[in-house]
Amino acid sequence: MDNKRIQKWDLLKAFLMFCVVLGHFADVHAGTNEFAQSLYLFLYSFHMPLFIFISGLFSKKMVNEKQWDKMLGYLVLYFFLKLVKYIYDAVFDQCFTFRVFGETGIAWFMFALFVFAVITVFTSKYKPACVLVFSILLSLFAGYDNEIGSTLVLSRIIVLYPFYYAGYCIDPKKLVKISKGKIKKIFALVLIGVLIWVAFTFKDLYITRPMFVCQHPYEKLGEYAAFGPLIRLACYAVSALACVCFIIITPNRIGKGFLARFGQYTLPVYCFHYLIIYLVYRTFKITDYVTEDAMMWLIFLLSLLTTLLLSNKWLNILILKLMEIPKKTRRINNHEMKK
């Protein structure tokens, strides 16, 4: 393991990647199963906000040095994921729809990271408190506009940007120091326990799903649409508190770093885990052979196996090669111009 890496963040990333996969498995059953709904709501209350926060946390060099090639690498990955999904849909479902900038699948995250970095190049010139307050206010108003949705991933970009910017503004080393202390860890564990209890006890809270998914207007809240801004603020508060708690309880290191290694290879898991979900449900149709109750336990095992299977350096090398295309293209162009 790279000695310069801090195990804490790799351990947290590995856990969050498992949560992302588990959340997508749970989503398959969320339409009919209350346990899946509660699990989905609990996971979505923190896993993407925290992942985006960590992305911002380690974006400082890329943003401050304006490494456009690296930013464009996320855009390349975005189109790669859309192409992979298109090929799968065409082969297995005979579906030939391709939307260039409309995205509700997993590719949205790569496009959002690209936009987050570009925006932060410009917002980094202003006072952090002002940018953070403005970005939150913008997200509160955005919920009223029904036209802001999956096109250009606009809704998710607006709603989740505060987490990315907050990460950009914070020093990860200081955050590690602040998170130390047994009392803090106990308090954080209690709060996470409360969050789990609330998510699995109050079934009606599933109505807040559109706010945690971050791609829907307030009208999706139905009779509670009038309270949209307050609900969004409450969701922000829950997500922020949960993020802090998970950062605190994540150990600084475990052993010699075997588990932390999985946190170094989260990109291939994110990029390809949906293919496994498609195979499980749409190709092999596992629900024809397993009861709904059994599936609620099986999705934990399937998520763990998927995460472990895809967390390998060879797939990671493939993803990194794709992300290096803008940099290599620029080098070729520069070389040709010198000729």
Q: Helix or strand or coil: residue 63?
A: helix
pLDDT of residue 333: 62
Of the candidates 194, 190, 134, the one whose C-alpha atom is nearest the C-alpha of residue 161 is 134
Q: Residues 17-36: what's their mean pLDDT?
A: 96
Query: What three-state secondary structure class fits 170?
Result: coil
Check pLDDT > 50 for residue 1. Answer: no
Q: In this model, does residue 155 exceed pLDDT 50? A: yes
Provide the residue type at 192 as one letter: I
| Average pLDDT of the segment spanning 147-168 | 93
What per-residue confidence (pLDDT) applies to 164? Answer: 98
Nearest to 303 by CA among 42, 8, 51, 15: 15
Q: How far apart are the C-alpha atoms of 86 and 95, rounded to whole Å? A: 8
The secondary structure of 99-159 as a DSSP string is: -SSB--STTHHHHHHHHHHHHHHHHTTS-HHHHHHHHHHHHHHHTT-TT-SSBTTHHHHHH
Q: Rounded to an integer, what distance in angstroms lies between the CA atom of residue 257 and that of residue 3?
A: 10
What are 242-268's pLDDT values in tens digits? 999 999 999 998 988 888 999 999 999
Query: Alpha-carbon Rg of the chain, whole angstroms?
Result: 20
Task: Please say if the pLDDT value at position 328 is more than 90.
Answer: no
Structure-token pair, residue 47: 């896993």
Chain segment 92-139, per-residue pLDDT in tens: 777 777 787 777 789 999 999 999 999 999 999 999 999 999 999 999
The structure's pTM equals 0.94
